Structure formats: C-alpha cells, structure tokens
Amino acid sequence: MTFTKEKLSFFATFIEQNLGIVYSEINYFQLEMRLNDIMSFLGFNSPDEMYSSAVQGISGSFRELLLDAATNNETSFFRDPSAFQIILDQLIRPQIATFSSSVPYRIWSAACSNGQEPYSLAMMLSHEFGSLFPGCFEILATDFSTRVLNYAKLGRYSQLEVQRGLPIHYLLNFFSKIVGERGEDVWQLKHELQRPITFKQMNLLEKSPDSEKFNLILCRNMLIYQNVENKKYILSRITNCLHKGGYLVMGAAESLIGLSDDYDLVSFDRVVLYRKKD
C-alpha cells in the first residue's frame, strides 16, 4: 500500500529524532517498504489508519518495531579482513604482554548488529593467543535493536551467514553443526567464545558505556546514516570512552574530517585508523 509523501515525512522525522538516522526523500521507497511490513504485523488496514494512530503517539511495540525496522543491519564475519589483520598485528600483538585478567584489553563493538563483528574478534583472539583468551580480553557489543541483540546472543548462524567471510578453519574450530527448527543446517558458536562478550542495548544518542575506558572501539558504517550534528555528538561520547592513545576503527568509506580534532590519522598498509591524541 502507498504512503503519501506527507506521511513518509512524518515517520522519517520521528526516526531521525529518536535514532538520528536520516531518511531523505530519495530513500523514501525503503522507508515505505518497512512501514508496510509494520502495518501488516500490527494489523492496521491502511496507511491512513496507521498514520492516524501514529499522530496520537508512537509508543510500546509500535515504537519498538518502527525504530528497529529503521536500522540497517547489514553485516558479515570478518568484514574488511585487512582491518582485522591490522588490529591484530599492529595494535594488540605488540602490547599483549602488558595485559592480564586484572588489566584486560577492552574492546567496544558499537552497532554490533547480529554479532558477527564481536564474534570475529573473539575467534581471532582465541586463535592467536590461546590460553590468554578470554582472560586478557573483554568485549562489549552494543546495538539499538533488541531483535538483533537477541539473535547475536544465541551465537547461531545459517549456512549462508557462515559462508560470508568466515575462514573455513574458524568454522571448523569454533562452531558445531546442529539441525535447525526447519531441518536446515545451523552452525552454533562454542560457548567459550561467547563468555568474554557482553551484549547490551544502547542508543548512542542517549547514552554511552559507563564502565572503564576502552583500548579499541569499532564503530563502522553506523555514522554514515546520521546528520553532521549527530555524528559530532556521538563521536564526542565515543572519544570520552577511549583511552588516550587508544584506537577508533571506522568503515572504509568513513572519515573524521570536519567532525573531530581529537584523533591522529594513522595508516597501516592502506587501512586507516584513528588514534586518540595524548
């Protein structure tokens, strides 16, 4: 069913005010598809009925579904493999002797989606450092969507998902094949890989972690959906959570130019990272 531009603008404004995610008119077709799914799920008979309900107040399951549907949860294991290799070789390996169970290396995976990013980190660290994992490492994984967080906590992935970026030796070492509810092959991550990861719901426009500072923060391909003011605001929150000299990893197409002066750009073999200034 078709939503008028006025109705789409109303929902786009609500999403931007609550999540910071911007839907421009050129992307209204994506928003409309997602609104139609919500309309069907909630039992509204028409866009007019859904809009009439919305203008009276969007709350409860309506709000949760709308904001959840607005997020982009595209992800895969070891997305941009060269970035993971640089994290291992240039950031963690040279410092590994300085970390222990009392002074762990702390990583924050912001906008972790279905969990492939924090689990990729966990597999890499376990493979490379053996008995030091998980004792010397802590990983916080956050996302706005409780739906994707619940999925991530299961550590259970389809055949298609494990075929996207996951090296075969990691699949064989860290997963067990089980039978899914519909008789399909499903891959279950081993429990010891999940232990050092804390999953937490978080809207970065509203709050940031209140724990100790992090050595490394990955915030990849999330800020591209925000306007400039929100980008600066979220970056200021992230910066406050990072140790001096700690590193921020962004998406390959993202940049801090014009957004923050708190970092030095560091390039490793064409992989760009940002080091918090001392």
Convert the pLDDT of each residue in 101-120 to its tens digit.
Answer: 899 999 999 989 999 999 99
Residue 88: the pLDDT is 96
User: What whole-number distance in Å separates Cα of residue 244 and Cα of residue 278?
Assistant: 5
Percent of the chain with pLDDT over 90: 59
CA 39, 43, 48, 52 torsion-angle sign: negative
Residue 129: the pLDDT is 94
Rounded to an integer, the average pLDDT of 172-192 is 90
Give Dmax (Cα) for the chain.
62
Residue 1: the pLDDT is 67
- The pTM (predicted TM-score) of the whole model is 0.84
Convert the pLDDT of each residue in 142-179 to its tens digit.
Answer: 998 888 999 999 999 999 999 999 999 999 999 999 98
Q: What are the beta bridge partners of residue 217?
A: 108, 248
Residue 118: the pLDDT is 97
Convert the pLDDT of each residue in 269-278 to its tens digit.
Answer: 889 999 999 8
pLDDT averaged over every residue in the chain: 91
Helix (H, G, I), strand (E, B) or coil at 33: helix
DSSP letters, 160-194, are: HHHHTT--HHHHHHHEEEEE-TTS-EEEEEPHHHH
Domains of the chain (ranges plus CATH)? 5-70 (1.10.155), 81-155+191-276 (3.40.50.150)
Confidence grade of residue 23 (pLDDT, cut at 50, 70, 90): confident
